[in-house]
Amino acid sequence: MSKQKSPGRAIVFGASGNIGAAICRQLAAKNWSISLHYFHHREVALQLVNTLRHDYPNQDFQAFFGDLTQALPPDLGQTFGDFQALVFAQGTTDYQLFSTMSADQIQQLFQLHLLTPLQLIRQAEAKLLQQAHGRIVFVGSIYGAVGSAMEVTYSAVKGAQTSFANAYAREVAGSGLTVNVVAPGAVATAMNAEFSENDLAALREEIPLGRLAQPQEIALWVSNLLDPQADYLTGQTLYVNGGWLK
């Protein structure tokens, strides 16, 4: 049991996902209390909450539902009281030619990765600006920098997350609120479960480190950015990609 002072509460969107869950485990180990968001996988989130409550009895953990493709997000102020950090680790891709995507599919990807998070940040801004060390982190993607055929809209929203962080970080700089993106290359998660073993082998060959990342190797950088001592790093995108693509 840790006697260190808690840095506060983080709200982690996509906590039921592979990267989001790894982020929650690392934040909990660094004394954070956490509100864990899920969409379809309620049981996964509840199980993680139970584990974290058992392992860190002096911190607070709770799960909450939200479909972030909906324009009306959960009301953060009313629901969570005080919090110091927002982490956006939710997301899906849509693997097809740009020309075959419907307007609705394009809209949904923008809503999930960008538009709803921006609404949530607007809701949270006053509270985050009051904190000594407010934090916003997006889990972006290397594709936001280099682009990917068959994932054109996904690349566009990931690039927009990086552009948003660049600009918004400047607007709130000086208040202690930092805004950054952790942009993975390929990570061994459910999102890549559709690839065949041949495709994965070809992918591994392209990556200088010769393997996909583990979720905790992405979570490490998110949890470091949330550290109260990380005030001087803002407006950045950290490419955690095993040397791949950039």
Ligand X SMILES: NC(=O)c1ccc[n+]([C@@H]2O[C@H](COP(=O)([O-])OP(=O)(O)OC[C@H]3O[C@@H](n4cnc5c(N)ncnc54)[C@H](OP(=O)(O)O)[C@@H]3O)[C@@H](O)[C@H]2O)c1
Of the residues 3, 5, 40, 54, which one makes contact with ligand X according to CB under 6 A: 40
CB of 134 to ligand X, least distance (A): 21
Those residues whose C-beta lies under 8 Å from the C-beta of residue 3, and which sit 6 or more positions away, are none
Q: Which residues ranging from 87 to 126 are in contact with ligand X (CB under 6 A)?
A: 89-92, 112
CB of 155 to ligand X, least distance (A): 11
| Beta carbons of 25 and 44 less than 8 angstroms apart | no
| Beta carbons of 144 and 155 less than 8 angstroms apart | yes
Q: Which is nearer to ligand X, 65 or 129 (CB)?
A: 65
Pairing status of strand 9-13 against strand 85-88: parallel
Q: Which is nearer to ligand X, 38 or 83 (CB)?
A: 38
Q: Which is nearer to ligand X, 82 or 95 (CB)?
A: 95
Residue type, 126: A
Of the residues 35, 141, 180, 237, which one makes contact with ligand X according to CB under 6 A: 141
| Beta carbons of 19 and 184 less than 8 angstroms apart | yes
Residue type, 49: V
Stretch that binds ligand X, among 13-21, 73-81, 199-207, 220-228 (CB under 6 A): 13-21
CB of 44 to ligand X, least distance (A): 7
Stretch that binds ligand X, among 48-56, 165-173, 185-193, 197-205 (CB under 6 A): 185-193
Best CA proximity match to 169, nearest among 209, 216, 124, 134: 134
Stretch that binds ligand X, among 23-31, 65-73, 76-84, 168-176 (CB under 6 A): 65-73
Any idea which residue has 């803002």 for tokens? Answer: 234
Q: Is 154 a catalytic residue?
A: yes
Terminal-residue alpha carbon distance, the chain: 41
CA separation for the pair 65, 36 (Å, rounded): 9
Stretch that binds ligand X, among 4-12, 63-71, 96-104, 126-134 (CB under 6 A): 63-71
CA separation for the pair 224, 218 (Å, rounded): 10
Among candidate residues 154, 168, 232, 239, the one labeled active-site is 154
Of the residues 86, 139, 156, 165, which one makes contact with ligand X according to CB under 6 A: 139
- Size, binding site for ligand X by CB under 6 A: 28
Best CA proximity match to 120, nearest among 12, 203, 2, 21: 12
Q: Which residues bind ligand X (CB under 6 A)?
A: 14, 16-20, 38-41, 66-69, 89-92, 112, 139, 141, 184, 186-187, 189-192
The set of catalytic residues is 154
